[in-house]
A and B are shown apart, each in its own frame.
Chain A
Amino acid sequence: ETGVTQTPRHLVMGMTNKKSLKCEQHLGHNAMYWYKQSAKKPLELMFVYNFKEQTENNSVPSRFSPECPNSSHLFLHLHTLQPEDSALYLCASSPRGNGGNTIYFGEGSWLTVV
């Protein structure tokens, strides 16, 4: 139990589907993150929300759309994805969205695009 819960843990979707990944943190943190982890690549930061405001969009294609309704919840809406988007998507949180913070990760959502 990491305090950061992601659902679903596994998702298979077609390229024309619309789906969403959900993340909830129970740590009382104010910042939440989406990372992408592909095989043999470093963790790639996608989005950062600090106090519900998006503070970082790391040149992510618009087929990925984040939503942060409050400091405890974060969504990643997926639409018309490509097979190369298949990866492990990790949600994380930290006390604040700036330096000196330890980032705590969820268990990830495995996404396969067919």
Chain B
Amino acid sequence: GESVGLHLPTLSVQEGDNSIINCAYSNSASDYFIWYKQESGKGPQFIIDIRSNMDKRQGQRVTVLLNKTVKHLSLQIAATQPGDSAVYFCAENIEGGSYIPTFGRGTSLIVHP
């Protein structure tokens, strides 16, 4: 599969601020995208997903934006809390295909109290 990458390896924010984590993908055929959160010493945990027929999806304090034109997605975390400190991965996928999701290195989010 083609590569999935993240723009910034580390993002530091103050508690209460909004965080934006970006992800670029290169496979224009990808139509399903997932964000994962990995806390220290734990496995990646599903946060939110989005399909290509949408450009925005909201969860609890999180919003994912998809821009298919520039092959970019972002994860926005509102009112960031210390418990949000983790590494965040995006994964891209093709629905119905045999393509297994691949992951970038991740962005480390550090939230300062």
Q: Chain A: residues with CB nearer than 8 A to chain B?
A: 2, 4, 6, 33, 40-43, 45, 48, 55-56, 90, 92, 97-108
B102 CB to nearest chain A CB (Å): 7
Chain A positions within 8 Å of B53 at CB level:
none
Minimal Cβ-Cβ distance residue in B for A33: B100
Contacts A40-B105, A43-B89 given: A99-B96 contact, CB under 8 Å? Answer: yes
Q: Chain B: residues with CB nearer than 8 A to chain A?
A: 31-32, 34, 36, 42-46, 49, 89, 91, 93-106
Chain B positions within 8 Å of A108 at CB level:
42-43
Minimal Cβ-Cβ distance residue in B for A100: B95
Chain B positions within 8 Å of A55 at CB level:
98
Q: Give Cα A97 to B95, complex, Å.
A: 11
Chain B positions within 8 Å of A107 at CB level:
42-43
Q: Give Cα A48 to B99, complex, Å.
A: 11
Q: Give Cα A41 to B103, complex, Å.
A: 10
B25 CB to nearest chain A CB (Å): 13
Chain B positions within 8 Å of A99 at CB level:
32, 93-100
Name the contact of A103 in the complex, choosing from B31, B96, B101 (C-beta under 8 A): B101
Chain A positions within 8 Å of B45 at CB level:
2, 105
Among B32, B94, B103, the one with the most A-chain Cβ atoms within 10 Å of its Cβ is B103
Q: Is the CB of B43 within 8 A of A106?
A: yes
Chain A positions within 8 Å of B95 at CB level:
99-100
